[in-house]
Structure 1
Amino acid sequence: MTEITDFKDLRIWQKGMDIAKECYFLTKKFPKDELYGMVQQIRRSASSIPANIAEGYGRRTTGEYRRFLSIAQGSVNELQTHLLLAEAVGLCDYEEIKPLITELQSETRMIITLIKKLS
């Protein structure tokens, strides 16, 4: 097992970064008129996941860390909602978002596990 010396060593943060990158690639295919709509919403909520994990890791107390992990979990739920809505209105196919939905479910399990370990 590798020693964790930085937030970048956290698998939960790495997975969040992978999800965010995939969301950026997905939204590049969306129509230009969605740039300030769904594209922005998806990218913002996706980038919020690893950002909140990193910010929580850098906080001074375990309680603050748990709070930021909870915010990251909220962003996971928000992102899943935006992806499902994008599919529902025809911006993408379900097959395009299915791997992301699976990764978000995995990220949820990791966040919940870490919150429990910190409690």
Structure 2
Amino acid sequence: MAKISAFEDLEVWKEAVRIGVEIYRLADLSPLKHDYKSRDQIIGAAISISNNIAEGFEYNNNKVFIKYLHYAKGSAGEVRSQLAILVAAGRVNNEDYEKLKSDLSGLSSKIKSFINYLKAFNQKKK
């Protein structure tokens, strides 16, 4: 893997941003756009995915970065959970739910693979 010099070059960050933008789009649709608490909560959780990736990267320390990648992965799970509740409550349609659930599961998997890569890299350095 080539050395990455900015978090904006990370595929997991780009994917997290894309999903965050999609959550914003979804939050602007009725009836979710009028459910301010749920809207704010899901947007906050969605943008925390990319924000945690960026923040962890900026520490320039793989151990700390891995911790923040775990936080990002946890936020992806939180968004999936919120979406499940919102679809059951009729605030999000099933098509959007299934697409975002798949995207978030895929991102979680990519983040986990990246964590494993960084852990292996750290072991090789010892």
Matched, 1:49 2:65: no
Question: What SS does the corresponding residue of 1:15 show, helix, strand or coil?
Answer: helix
Question: What SS does the corresponding residue of 1:107 show, helix, strand or coil?
Answer: helix
Report what 2:72 is aligned to: 72
Number of matched residues?
118
Q: Which runs of 5+ in 1 are unaligned?
A: none
Corresponding letter in the other structure for 2:35: E
Shift, 1:92, TM fit: 1.5
Corresponding letter in the other structure for 1:88: A
Report what 2:63 is aligned to: 63
Question: What SS does the corresponding residue of 1:5 show, helix, strand or coil?
Answer: coil
Shift, 1:61, TM fit: 1.7
Matched, 1:24 2:27: no
Larger CA deviation: 26-35 vs 37-46: 26-35
Q: Where does 1:1-119 land on structure 2 (aligned, <5 Å)?
A: 4-31=4-31, 32-35=33-36, 37-119=37-119
User: Residues 57 and 65 of structure 1 are in contact (CA less than 8 Å); yes or no, is this contact kept in structure 2?
Assistant: yes
Structure number with larger C-alpha Rg = 2
Q: Kindly, what percent of the aligned residue pairs are identical?
A: 31
Provide the C-alpha distance between the structure 1 equivalents of 2:27 and 2:80, rounded to a whole number of angstroms.
14
Q: Which runs of 5+ in 2 are unaligned?
A: 120-126
Provide the C-alpha distance between the structure 1 equivalents of 2:22 and 2:79, rounded to a whole number of angstroms.
12
Corresponding letter in the other structure for 2:41: Q
What do the CA deviations read for 1:81-112 (whole angstroms, capped 9, x no partner)?
01111101010111122111111011011110
Provide the C-alpha distance between the structure 2 equivalents of 1:77 and 1:28, rounded to a whole number of angstroms.
21
Question: What SS does the corresponding residue of 1:67 show, helix, strand or coil?
Answer: helix
Aligned-residue Cα RMSD (Å) equals 1.5
Corresponding letter in the other structure for 1:16: A
TM (norm. structure 1) is 0.93
